[in-house]
Every structure is written in structure tokens, then in C-alpha cells.
Structure 1
Amino acid sequence: MPGIVRFADTAGTVRVGLRDEAGGIRELDGVGRVADLLRLPLRQLRQRLDSRGGGATHHRAGVTPLPPVDGDTEVWASGVTYERSRQARGEESDSDDLYDRVYTASRPELFFKSVSWRVVTEGEPIAVRADSRLDVPEPELAVVCNVHGEIVGYTVCNDVSSRSIEGENALYLPQAKVYAGSCALADAIVPAWHVGNLADQRIRMTVWRGGDQAYRGEVALAALRRDPARLVGYLFGGQPFPEGAVLATGTGIVPGMDFTLTEGDTVEIDVSAVGTLSNPVVRGAEAMAWLTEARERPTARPVAPRER
């Protein structure tokens, strides 16, 4: 499916382009960052992407994919937006009424997830914290918003989380949710006008361990309790986002308390009509130290092969 992508060419130069369904990438002339596109109103952005003009073309196999966020674009997330998420938070916490109340409240739970440079993408490692004993991937539809708060596209998010840390005390949420390796986005943003009715789409997740399925889950996006546009309205109602924002809309797939991610697992997520995301799992902040160097040198990004 078509999508806005960031990538490094064979010389290591970061570029922005539009990927077609066959895997070809057309550079967008005059666009140095995805954040520049998110400064445009939706109508202008669509005209820019639909234009037949453009720069050089590349093949997907010949470039290094980069996360589709840059500059001052922030990633945020929503919590307890599916019935299964409400149940799971109650399972792990002695404050289950807290999650019941936010599930039914008018105001949603929103929290900061990542600055752009800490986001990982397809094939790159996600991490579980070294000081956590119970960790899960959280597969989510993410909406991509421009500076005006308009939803201009969609992507796939893995909102990796520590259930043991959040369960110990709800005030530990930032430590359970915000750390190196906790936020992965698919390597493309699918323009909103290329995605059909969201309620018709499904999210699927498989965790592979030693060649076997350790976990598999699926949920319909129709089960999402909160309208994505309303979630965006709450997010933009409190502060400006001068280079747009990505907002993950919550998960409806949460394994039981007898499951935890382990180093060496591979997590695969598919959101129909939006895309896929696959990441190997590592443990601890040290394994994600490359993120700092990769801010300036894209070739420092490790890409691990998929495993079964």
C-alpha cells in the first residue's frame, strides 16, 4: 500500500519519499523532513502527494528504512480504550477501579510516549526494561496528525509496556511506558484517504519464540471505544504541536498474566489496510544505546532479520 517514508540512500543521506505498492520510492522534491509535510493543511498535503512530479526513484530493497517521524514531531498514546485493556489493567493492579473509571469517563487517558529520535521502526529491536519482570507488546493503530490537528494518515505502533511497574503503582506509568525501545512505528505513513472505514479493519499480533508461536491475538477496530478524532481533539486541546503528532489509539490485545516478553522474541503486528511491523526483542537500556549515535548517523541503526 502507498505510504510516506523516510529512508537513507546508499550514501547515507536521509530522504523523504512516497512508496508505491510495488516497492518503488519516489523522492519528494523540496521535502527534507516528514515534519515539513505535517506543517501543511490536509488539502495541500494531499495535493502534494498526488502530484505526479517528483525526484529520483529508489527501490525499497536498496535503501535503509527509518522511522517515519523526525524533527519536533512527538508520539503520544491513549490508554484503556478497549474492554480488554480495561480488564488487563485490573488484573495487574490493585487499583482496578481507577481503570474502570477512565474507561467510562468522557476525558480519555493520554500520555506522552516518545520524542522522534527514540522511535524504532521495522526490523529494529524493541526492548523490555532490565528492572521489569512482566512485559508485553501492545499493538495499536496510530493516527498521524498535522499541525492543525487534522488526521492525515495512519501507521502501526507497538506501545511496549511494563505490566509489573505500572501494576505496582499507577503513578509509575511514565516509567512503565517511556524508555528506550518502548516505541516502535511501522516504516510508512499511509495517507488517510487510502484507508477505508476503520471499523472494518482488524489488528493481529503474533509473538514468535524459538520458531514457535508463543502468543497470538486479534481484535476488530470496531471494538475501539473512543473515536480517534475525539482523542486527537483532547490531545491538541491542551498544547500546540508545531510539527504535528502521532497518537497511538490503545490496544485491545493483551496476553494473560502468565505471559511476558523475553529477549530473543520477535513481535509481528498487522493492521489491515495500514501495514505491518516486526521487531526482535532485547533487554535493558544498554542494548538500545545505539539510538543516541543514530540521531546523526543513520548507518548506526541495527536491522535484525525476521525469525520464526
Structure 2
Amino acid sequence: MREATGHGPPKLPLMHIVRYRRGQDGTPGVGVRDDGVVRELPVPSVAALLRERVADLRALLGAPGDVVEDARLLAPVDGATEVWAAGVTYLRSREARMEESSEADIYGRVYEAARPELFFKSAAWRVVVDGEPVAIRADSGLDVPEPELALVVNRFGEIAGYLVCNDMSSRAIEGENPLYLPQAKVYAGACALSAGIRPVWEVNGADLAVAVRVTRDGVAVWSGTTSTARLKRPFAELVDYLFRADHFPDGAVLSTGTGLAPAMDFTLQPADVVTIAIDGIGELTNPVVVGKEHFEHQRPGIEVESRP
């Protein structure tokens, strides 16, 4: 399987940390995927990896074990790892929030403030992976994907790697009242992550091209590009605020906010397909559904498989 960059020709495969389930016996595991081949690591979970220093993690990844045959990829988070997100970190996201909101000045102030906007996004077991559906709420009439680079952070607050994130959002609900943010952002099918973690020592996350495309009946109805270089806040600052007043014993994923937002006359519809690509990190593709009923199978300890 080749990793795509933007929406151009595919490039050579990249190394990723992955979670998988063996196709033959269903045994779960953690491994390194390189050149399309998954090799096992001697750890029980990604959470266990995020209990290690980055230097120790790098040494462990340098000596993977046997090839895993017929590995089916799972969500790249497990255990007590939480997914958090940052908001209003790009000028475009500031403008978009101000366009939609009845309290527009709040977003202008938080963009300029010393303290960033951070919010809880998902427990590990609720995360959707590449190929699985993302959702729009049945009680929202204005919904968008939010393409973002996500930081994978260990328990020491060190950035260990990167993921592609789709931080699904109801613009209608958040726009009605900023205090409705949790309902606009946290619901079944609202958080999608790419299947593999790109190690931090393999890529510079400070200037990566981010691209999004939404297709409807095979036709692109919205697309855009930006760069992580346009982020207002450094990665280290976002991580520092996340770790200031809480412990993350199994690490955390922190999505860094979006620099891409469509005009107010665009909304996702059922059966749309959202594709997000970040150069050097990977690609994430998800069809769109409406409502929580599509996620009744999600339970703690129940793994959701990505497409082969």
C-alpha cells in the first residue's frame, strides 16, 4: 500500500507505527509498517509505547521482529490514551468561527490570547480509522470536516509522532452558542485518525502541506490546501498547555487545529467522501453518514478495523 501526498501521484511508502489484528487468528498487536510490510514489536499496546521516552521508543523501533501476515490495521490509539484538539490556531479558522458565530468577538480574542483553546475530542475506543465512516449529527444542518495535523505525545510531554486527523464539526451548533462546543465536536463518528503514526524523528512537522477534498457522486464539491507553517502557535506551546494541569499516563493525541474551512453555503451530505492528505504523514479517507446508529458496535475493548 502506497502513501499519497496531497492529491498528486503516490510517493514511496513511509514508516509508521501501527496497531493491527492478525487476519489468521485475530490476535492484536503493535508493529512497524515499512515498505508495505508490517513487522511486530515486543509491546502489548501503543499506550505502552507512549509510556517511554522518545529516545527509547526510537531504539525499540529500530529492531522490529517477524513479519505479520495479513495484518488488518486498527485505530492507532488504545488504552487510556485520549484525543484532544486545539481550536482557532490558524487565521482561516479564526475567520470561519467569526463568520458562523453569534458571538464572533470570542474567536478573535482567543486567536490573540496567550492561552490557546483546547478541548477533549475522543476516548481511544471511539476513534474512527481510515476507510470507516465519519458522522454528521442528525440535529445539525451545517457540518464540515476539519483537516488537521495531530501530535502524538508521550506521558512525559514529548512529541513522539504525527497523525492525520479529521476533527468533524457542526458549525450550526457551535455557531448558535460557543458553549455548545462539546456537542458540536464530541459525538459518535466525530473523530477520525489515520491508521499509522509517523515517528517524529523522520519528518519535520513545522511546514507540511495539508490538502482536503470532498467528493459527492464522484465529483469534487470542495477542496483546499494549506500548510502547517501557517499555524499561529508552536507545537510545544500547545503541548505545554495540555500538560499543565493534568496527567496522561498513556500519552495523548493533540490535534492542532484546522487552516481549511469552506464557505458558509457548504455542508456535508450523506455518502460524501472526505479525503485528507498531509505530506510526509499519510492520507485519511472516510465516507459520511448521519447519526449515531452507525456506531452502535463501538464499545470499550471492541476494535474497529480499517480497510485492508
Structure with the larger helix share: 1
CA distance in 1, matches of 2:149, 2:264: 23
User: Normalising to structure 1: TM-score of the pair?
Assistant: 0.93
Paired AA for residue 149 in structure 2: L
CA distance in 1, matches of 2:154, 2:40: 20
CA contact (8 A) 1:70 1:117 kept: yes
CA contact (8 A) 1:280 1:304 kept: no
1:216-266 C-alpha deviation (Å, 9 max, x unpaired): 010011111110111000000110001000000000000111111111011
CA distance in 2, matches of 1:200, 1:167: 30
Paired AA for residue 241 in structure 2: Y
Paired AA for residue 259 in structure 1: F
1:303 offset after TM fit, Å? Answer: 5.3
Change (3 A) 1:204 1:158: same
CA contact (8 A) 2:73 2:306 kept: no
CA contact (8 A) 1:143 1:248 kept: yes
1:172 offset after TM fit, Å? Answer: 0.3
Q: Which of 272, 280, 297 is equivalent to 2:287?
A: 280
Q: Does 1:15 align with 2:29?
A: yes
User: Normalising to structure 2: TM-score of the pair?
Assistant: 0.93
Change (3 A) 1:69 1:302: closer
Q: Does 1:74 align with 2:82?
A: yes
CA contact (8 A) 1:128 1:281 kept: yes
Q: How does 1:1-308 map to 2 (within 5 A)?
A: 1-10=14-23, 11-20=25-34, 22-29=35-42, 31-51=43-63, 53-54=64-65, 56-58=66-68, 62-196=70-204, 198-292=205-299, 295-298=300-303, 301=304
CA contact (8 A) 2:129 2:192 kept: yes
Q: SS at the partner of 1:89? A: helix
> Taking every aligned residue pair, what percent have the same amino acid on both sides?
54
Q: SS at the partner of 2:196? A: coil
CA distance in 2, matches of 1:200, 1:96: 29
CA distance in 1, matches of 2:127, 2:305: 13
In structure 2, the gaps of 5 or more residues are: 1-13
CA distance in 1, matches of 2:167, 2:111: 18
- Give 4+ residue runs of structure 1 displaced > 4 Å after superposition: 302-305
Change (3 A) 1:237 1:50: same
CA distance in 2, matches of 1:142, 1:302: 20
CA distance in 1, matches of 2:210, 2:279: 7
CA contact (8 A) 1:127 1:288 kept: no
Q: SS at the partner of 2:148? A: strand
Q: SS at the partner of 2:55? A: helix
1:182-214 C-alpha deviation (Å, 9 max, x unpaired): 000000000000003x33311000001101001
CA distance in 1, matches of 2:301, 2:229: 40
1:11-69 C-alpha deviation (Å, 9 max, x unpaired): 2221100000x21000002x110000000011111111112x52x3125xx22211100
1:259-299 C-alpha deviation (Å, 9 max, x unpaired): 1111101100001111110001110011111212xx4444x
What is the number of equivalent residue pairs in this alignment?
294
Q: SS at the partner of 2:211? A: strand
